[in-house]
Structure 1
Amino acid sequence: MAQTSTQTDTRLRNLNDRLRKDRIGGRVVMTHGIAALGPLLVLKIDQAVRAFDAFTPGNDPYGEHDFGSLTVEGHVVMFKIDAYDLDLQYASPDPTDPDVTCRVMTLMLAAEY
């Protein structure tokens, strides 16, 4: 039985939230700009991204919770979650299936985008 669009969106949102909030189901990487801010600020950024819940139709039109932008101590930080195949070579054949997907959340400064 095929999933409906709403079921797919809900499944994607839940998997993305699980990675963002709990660091389960994928990997988290950061750019050089984030790393250069030092461990204390990286920790604050990590905590802020985990707590982020300001998703709106304007910044999350598909309801997947795969992108966000926030400010931490004057630094505009963005996170982006992408779904790859298990070899991290191509897009996942089915982003709703954790058995064939590795999610990667990238933390970056907006200036690096």
Structure 2
Amino acid sequence: MAANAIETEETDPVDYALIAQQNDAFRKRQPEGGEGMFVQTNAIDNMGPSFVAACLANTITYDDFTEDNDPHGTHEMGFMEIMGRKVWFKIDLYDENYQYGTPAPTDLSKTRRVLTILFPSDY
């Protein structure tokens, strides 16, 4: 088994590097990232359209992944400062109906991504 893969009960080994590639493509709104949606918490939304736009722009271009903030190498969470406020984004992987976790994280036909932009206090 590759060093960056794990066994899950439901599926074959999952390749963290492939998940990272897919998460990056999804964040950048590229087809290789599969289907899904971007959402933000009410607290982010209440900051106004220019703040939300800055969050989206920074999320799409984010590339500050380190071993400390991304220990599994999946690029599923990012930490930024927007207009003097700490902001996070988090990507979760769901099944096709957005009801449960995906049974096959690297299979784009069975996985839907949800990227949430939030303040740390929203977590």
Same fold (TM over 0.5): yes
Q: Which residue of 1 aligns with 2:59?
A: 49
Out of 10, 13, 21, the position equivalent to 2:28 is 21
Where does the alignment leave 5 or more consecutive residues of structure 1 unmatched?
none
Out of 90, 93, 97, the position equivalent to 2:103 is 93
Query: How many Å apart are 1:5 and its aligned residue?
Result: 5.2
Quick check: 6-15 or 64-73, which moved more?
A: 6-15
Distance 2:42 2:53 in 1: 15
Greater share of helix: 1
Q: CA RMSD in A?
A: 1.6
Distance 2:117 2:27 in 1: 10
Quick check: 13-22 or 97-106, which moved more?
A: 13-22
Query: How many Å apart are 1:62 and its aligned residue?
Result: 0.6
The correspondence of residues 1-113 of structure 1 with structure 2, limited to 5 A, is 4=2, 6=4, 8-22=15-29, 24=31, 25=34, 26-113=36-123
TM-score relative to the length of structure 1? 0.91
Contact 2:4 2:72 in 1 (8 A): no
Q: Deviations over 1:11-58 (max 9, x none)?
A: 100110011122652211110011101111111111111111110000
Where does the alignment leave 5 or more consecutive residues of structure 2 unmatched?
6-14
Q: Deviations over 1:41-98 (max 9, x none)?
A: 1111111111111100000001000001111001111111010001111100011000
Distance 2:41 2:30 in 1: 17
| Percent identity of paired positions between Structure 1 and Structure 2 | 36
Distance 1:112 1:82 in 2: 15
